Chain A
Amino acid sequence: MKASSWRQWVLWLGVLCATAALLLLVRQRLDKAHFALVFLLVVLGSSAAGGRAIGLTVAGGAFLAFNYFFLPPYYTFIIADPFDWLVLVTFLATGIVAAQLLYRARRNTDAAVARAREVDRLATLGAETLAAPSAAAALDAIAEVIRSSLNAREVEFYRRAEAGGLHRTTRAGRANAASSPMTAWYGDRVRAAVVLEDGTTRMDPAGLVGLNVVMIDRALNVREQAVGVLRVAFATSTTLTADSARLLDALAYYAALGVERVRLEATAERAEAERRVESLRNALLMAVSHDLRTPLTTIKALAHEISATAPSSAARVIESEADRLDALVGDLLDLSRIQAGAVQPILAVNTVDELIGAALQRAHGAIGSRAVAVSLPDEMLIARFDLTQSLRILVNLLENAAKYSAANAGIEISACLDGDMVRLDVSDDGAGVRSGEEERIFEPFYRPADTPPDARGAGLGLSISRGLAEAQGGTLRYQARATGGATFVLKLPRAAGPTLRFL
């Protein structure tokens, strides 16, 4: 810039002198207005090409030359005709105004060109970032652009880790010593921090423009969420201009998007891995289920065939033992699903009427001829649960009630609203659970010491039931009954029914 500016000065002062000299040669043949117009041309030309300083200087020079050489009496600055003053002042005013206007137009053009270049750079960077095969590659590109545009020594991006703290994802430029631990808490509380030339740190400066900085830490935000930190370190203290501060802002947003993309990619990879494990586990459980149940089917079918041709109690025992084994297989598969956290309830709006009805039907074998008293409020109870899983819980509770009480003792089921839950109580007249064992009965394979010897089962029912209840957002607890029996309390999330207009 400096060299070309000198050349402009020499050029336009030369042009002014040459014009004056040429006009001197033809002074006799021309009018004052002609001189004024020719000089004006030179002033306009110099303003347009050389800028405001040259334009004003040339205008001043032209004013003096016009007066000295071309307004009588010649070769003096005296003006004989008062009207010539008018010409002269008009000339000067026109020249200055023209120089000013041209300067402004030019400055606007320059700014527009600079802005266009900036937009161009950002657009290219945006395209590169989008096209980058991985988020890490995109961040590398952004870091390098920030480094070169700000002439920084080093640019680093830190990603906010899920567990807290920051991890460096990208670095461009000369490696620094270990990064300052201060970055670890910048992301959360502070939008920006700068280290000034004198070594002091300033938090959240009103603006970066004009500060003499050696390092900038800037929070990276996506939708008002801090996703990481951008750090720019300079080799020597640097004053940021408005342009570079604006560019830094724009690029920081790109970096924030890039850092967020790194995070999402990591999340997606983890989700994909979890999905695969899940589908493998399901395939395995399905295969186990199939491979264990197919021979059981054969055994049962053959036992039935034997009993049909030659009735024998042995064949019936084979059949019922096969059923028991099948129930055990089912329990073990369910327990492994629950313990793996792989139970996915299909939650829907269901009625308690239906849950109790289906459970009574399914448990009728275990209930036998016992009386089951059901007490329900007049208003239909509606809850959000998985019918099949809740059915399993309730059937299990009914079977337990039958198993642990006298052969002709009754069973009671009652249901009611309990805050934002629906509560179901299944009560029996048995011995209840010994104190101190109220929670242990929900452990897998746990069987109380006083379990009747003929009670069958592996001790999985209650732990499966509790697992299924919790998977649906419910609870299952034991409660001692004042009369000595046992009550199991199942709670499921309440739901609203349809509005009347849909009935």
Chain B
Amino acid sequence: MPSGHLTILLVDDEVPIRRALRHALTPAALLGGDAEEVTVRVLEAGTAREGIDLAAAEQPALIVLDLGLPDQPGLDVCREIRRWSEAPILVLSARHQDTEKAALLDAGADDYMTKPFSTIELVARVRAQLRRARTAAPTAAATITFGEWTVDLQRRRIERAGLPVHFTPTEFALLRAFVLHPRQTLTHRQLFAAVWGNAEGDAPQYLRVYIGHLRRKLERDPVRPQFIHTESGVGYRFEPDGVRAA
């Protein structure tokens, strides 16, 4: 597990919010049991310019970015940082608009929270992003197991408790996109691209219907999904551990 420094950058123009977050982002909160060997360094920026400069100079492991910065729209900041940094970006916004969420995720943000947020939840999301950044993403050659399911991506075989189950090509393409990006919100646009490429046609408007069919095959109870979670207005998130958010 990691040792040494863990650098986190907070970009928000509200000083009290930065202070509260700085206090909440402790090694114990972020890393659990492995905390002793690690020191967490929290950098703070009050403007977009400062934030971009710090992100470039210090290469933080994660960036918390407020969208209501005085000098630049958050969407632009997000795009700019994403051009040269792989660090997870967690966005905070006081606007509660789905279109904005989707645009941000498409612009390279990794997660999104609306203000006012609960500090506990923010810390949990930061922790999840750090963990995801540490674990290597599954490759297309792998066989992936979750719950009772085994998915052999190369041979296109899907088994439930050892018995093969038939999936249509669209269902398989969707499942493939999900298992290759675990715990990550995939926007509708990203799913369109993964399943249908740039093809024009009738199919993409039925994305939610295909997800419905996939859930009815995959989940024990399609209205209480364990694996494929809805991020309303934005997209879907695959949870291989079968967590139930409720």
CB pair B99–A346 under 8 Å, yes or no, is yes
Q: Which residue of B lies closest to A386 (CB)?
A: B233
Contacts of A391 in B (CB 8 A): 232
CB pair B206–A349 under 8 Å, yes or no, is yes
Which A residues, 290 to 326, have Cβ-Cβ distances below 8 Å to chain B?
290, 293-294, 296-302, 304-305, 308, 319, 322-323, 326
CA–CA, A146 and B39, complex, Å: 89
Interface residues on B, range: 35 or more
CA–CA, A324 and B232, complex, Å: 22
CA–CA, A57 and B154, complex, Å: 105
Asked if A376 CB lies within 8 Å of chain B CBs, one says yes
Which B residues, 110 to 134, have Cβ-Cβ distances below 8 Å to chain A?
115-120
CB pair B96–A289 under 8 Å, yes or no, is yes
CB pair A290–B68 under 8 Å, yes or no, is yes
The segment out of A17-25, A203-211, A218-226, A358-366 that lies at the interface is A358-366
Contacts of B232 in A (CB 8 A): 358, 387-388, 391
CB pair A297–B216 under 8 Å, yes or no, is no
Contacts of A294 in B (CB 8 A): 14, 68, 94, 115
Contacts of B52 in A (CB 8 A): none
CB pair A293–B208 under 8 Å, yes or no, is no
CA–CA, A387 and B233, complex, Å: 7
CA–CA, A19 and B226, complex, Å: 117
A297 contacts which of B115, B212, B245 (Cβ < 8 Å)?
Answer: B115
Knowing A293-B94, A297-B115, A301-B119, the reply to whether A498 touches B206 (Cβ < 8 A) is yes
CA–CA, A498 and B213, complex, Å: 11
Contacts of A304 in B (CB 8 A): 20, 24, 118-120
Interface residues of A, count at CB 8 A = 45
CB pair B16–A360 under 8 Å, yes or no, is no
Contacts of A503 in B (CB 8 A): 168, 170-171, 210, 213
Contacts of A308 in B (CB 8 A): 23-24
CB pair B98–A357 under 8 Å, yes or no, is no
The segment out of B53-61, B77-85, B217-225 that lies at the interface is B217-225
A311-354 vs B: 1/0 string, CB under 8 Å?
A: 00000000100110010001000000000000000101111011
Distance in angstroms from A273 CB to nearest chain B CB is 24
Knowing A351-B209, A353-B223, the reply to whether A298 touches B17 (Cβ < 8 A) is yes
Q: Which residue of A lies closest to B169 (CB)?
A: A503
Selected A-B contacts with CB under 8 Å, 23 pairs = A289-B95, A290-B68, A290-B95, A294-B68, A296-B116, A297-B94, A298-B20, A301-B17, A304-B118, A304-B120, A305-B23, A308-B23, A346-B98, A346-B233, A349-B209, A353-B215, A353-B216, A360-B223, A361-B246, A364-B246, A376-B223, A388-B232, A503-B213
The interface of chain A, by Cβ under 8 A from chain B, is 286, 289-290, 293-294, 296-302, 304-305, 308, 319, 322-323, 326, 330, 346, 348-351, 353-354, 356-358, 360-361, 364, 374, 376, 380, 382, 387-388, 391, 497-499, 502-503
